[in-house]
Amino acid sequence: MFLTDHNTIAGAVGLRAESSAAVVVGEEVLTTEGEIIGLFLGKTIPHGLTPRETAIAIKAQGGLVYLEHPFDEFRRHLMEDAIETIADLVDIVEVFNGRSGPDANRRAEDLCTILDAAAGAGSDAHSLKEIGSVYVEIEEFEGAQDFLAKLRDARIVVGRRKLFLIAEAKFRYRRGRRK
């Protein structure tokens, strides 16, 4: 399970401490020119750095640089000039974002190919009902570099996982009984 939050790793660190499932700690960092995700982090990356400084800080922790929703015109992302400044540091490009439109996702696929990056995807959930709307099926992995290698052979799935739907139904049932 991957958890990223804006400008902090606290939620992911807390989830990892409370969960029996493996949790990869990430952060969606606001740079001077848009957002970049760092995965496999041990410390919060300060926001407000340039994209290149942010990517270097992620790499210094052994983390992976992930470009999320790179062409979604309604959400903060890096513009093409900024992407060019970090092209040599990008590991993953999100080619399917559950909140982005088809054109933005298609353009992200093109960018992924140009950068020879691994393809990522995510639900970009901001509410309970959005969790699991898009996910990646991947073999078990050991650490950042093994994850990156296996991500190239992973499968992007669009649609909610059955297990999540059962858990959500139970949650709603229990919540409804308390009223």
pLDDT at 179: 44
pLDDT band at 173 (very low <50, low <70, confident <90, very high): very low
- DSSP states of 89-142: G--EEEEEETTS-HHHHHHHHHHHHHHTPEEEEE---SSGGGTTSEEEE-----
The model carries a pTM of 0.83
- pLDDT tens for each residue of 106-149: 999 999 999 999 999 876 666 666 666 678 889 999 999 999 99
Number of other CB atoms surrounding residue 153 within 10 Å: 9
Name every residue whose Cβ is closer than 8 Å to that of residue 102 and which is 6 or more positions away in sequence. none
* Mean pLDDT across the chain: 85
pLDDT at 168: 47
pLDDT at 15: 87
Domains of the chain: 2-177 (3.20.20.140)
Q: Examine the pLDDT at 167 and tell me if it is beyond 90.
A: no
Percent of the chain with pLDDT over 90: 55
pLDDT at 101: 78
Amino acid at 1: M
Contact 77, 99 (CB under 8 A): no
